[in-house]
Amino acid sequence: MLPETDIQKLAVESRQKLIQEFAETYANLRERIKRVPDADARRVSEEFSCPLEVAMVAYLINMDGIMTLRSAIDLFTAELARRASVGEDVPNLPGNILEFALVEGRWISHIHGRFTRQLEIRVRSLSNLEDAVDNETLEVEKALSIIAERVKLAETVISPLVEEWRKEHLKSTSADVISSFGHAITKWNRSTLNGKSKQILKRNQAHFRLLRQALTKSSDSFTIDASISRMDTLIAELEQPLDKLTPRAVAHFLLHLVPRPQSGRGDRSPYIEIGVGSTRGNKAEPDMSSPFDFLERDIKLGNRRKSDDRREFLLERISRVYRVLKYQGSDIPECVSKCFREIIARFGLKDVSFEDEFSAASEKIIEEMITERDALAVDLIHDFVINHVYSEVSP
């Protein structure tokens, strides 16, 4: 297990990196908000009965493919209500509301975007270690490895973020942290998360007790003693009510919430949540890493479906890939261009002219209303598949 000084050093580095990323995200939102079409912002504000400034930032979050407008505005509304409930109302002035929207929008973008994405990737090594953990087979070395990996993830990656969130969200509690981060991690609604939290806390404690029990099989050593002491402390901290948990306990609890990829084995530990994932070689690793890997697979699967079902299936899958590309920084024409090129290359469409197809698509995008361009882009990619891929593979 990492020495305490190394844990603190890594936590400081994570916090410094986070501050830099947040400064960049804030500046990015502040600059881009100037380019939000006024008509679109007012439409969103009227449709969802929210301040214009909140509507503009929610519009950007939605354009980045992070979540729907409704989901983003619900999160802003929940935080405004929380602040009002603790006597920290945001003054009803355009400047104050805009600053609130930019700062909170930065948190929403980070937690529901980069944070959850990176956490799901980093948890894979822990997931592989925790496969088939039980009382009979858990060895001391494996228990130590699991503890070390959990401490590293929880206390050097999650905990610094939790502490910064608490600083910026005045009079917030650990229950507020769990509600905010847990919703992003699990995708459960808040009532479901609140209902399951106590049960998951108990499972987290049971898992730590199992690891602690495995360590008692070994002879005394400084590493073993330090690990047992840490487990005892965490188990005690997790005994507290949800709104009284320490930042460290919250971090370990959030780590326990992260869905683990399905390993394909039937002997996974009952102490760990199982998520849905793709596997290779009985390890929690993705078979496909590029969004175009998934697009290629789904196009092949779509060819087996009947017309109406095929259209609905393809539009939904293409829309996912499109949102990922938007989130990675591509604009609308670039998303269409990349999809056209990849489809041509992966399906060997030698007789299809990329230049002609993309030129025609670009003209349609330019002519379309700004608010309808995303939907049009997905339709254009869908039609490209129907007209060129399926005409090639159909008997």
Residue 318 domain-assigned (yes or no): yes
Arithmetic mean of pLDDT, 114-132: 84
Residue 273 domain-assigned (yes or no): no
Phi, psi of 21 (to 5 degrees): -60, -40
Q: How confident is the model at residue 288 (pLDDT cuts 50, 70, 90)?
A: low
Q: Say if residue 335's pLDDT is above 90.
A: yes
235 and 295 co-located in one domain: no
Question: Strand, coil or helix: what is 37?
Answer: coil
Residue 83 domain-assigned (yes or no): yes
Which residue's structure tokens are 């405004």? 80
308 and 370 co-located in one domain: yes
Single out the residue in 240, 257, 274 at which a domain terminates: 257
Can you say how many angstroms the Cα of residue 179 is from the centroid of all Cα atoms in its chain?
15
Residue 280 domain-assigned (yes or no): no
237 and 329 co-located in one domain: no
Residue 379 domain-assigned (yes or no): yes
201 and 314 co-located in one domain: no
86 and 202 co-located in one domain: yes
232 and 303 co-located in one domain: no
Q: Say if residue 268's pLDDT is above 50.
A: no
Amino acid at 118: Q
pLDDT (0 to 100) of residue 286:
42
pLDDT (0 to 100) of residue 263:
47
Structure tokens at 210: 């199992």
Contact by Cβ (8 Å): 293, 364: no
Single out the residue in 234, 257, 280 at which a domain terminates: 257
Can you say how many angstroms the Cα of residue 161 is from the centroid of all Cα atoms in its chain?
14
pTM over 0.75: no
Q: Which domain holds residue 318?
A: 291-393
For the stretch 86-118, pLDDT in tens is: 999 999 999 999 999 999 999 999 999 889 888
Q: Say if residue 379's pLDDT is above 60.
A: yes
Question: Strand, coil or helix: what is 115?
Answer: helix
47 and 144 co-located in one domain: yes
How far is residue 72's CA from residue 369's CA, in Å, rounded to a whole number?
23
Residue 275 domain-assigned (yes or no): no
Residue 116 domain-assigned (yes or no): yes
Which residue's structure tokens are 């209303």? 369
Single out the residue in 211, 233, 257 at which a domain terminates: 257
How far is residue 304's CA from residue 393's CA, in Å, rounded to a whole number?
11
Give 216: exposed, middle or buried? Use CB within 10 Å, 0-12, 13-18, 19+: exposed
- Alpha helix locations (H) across the chain? 4-32, 38-48, 52-63, 69-85, 94-109, 116-130, 140-153, 159-168, 174-186, 190-215, 222-237, 247-257, 291-302, 307-327, 332-346, 354-367, 373-384, 390-393
Arithmetic mean of pLDDT, 49-62: 94
92 and 155 co-located in one domain: yes
226 and 316 co-located in one domain: no
160 and 29 co-located in one domain: yes
Q: CA nearest 393: which of 295, 318, 301, 288? A: 301
Residue 95 domain-assigned (yes or no): yes
231 and 343 co-located in one domain: no
Structurally, the chain folds into a number of domains equal to 2
Q: Say if residue 81's pLDDT is above 80.
A: yes
Side-chain-side CA neighbours of 307 within 13 Å: the count stands at: 0
88 and 154 co-located in one domain: yes
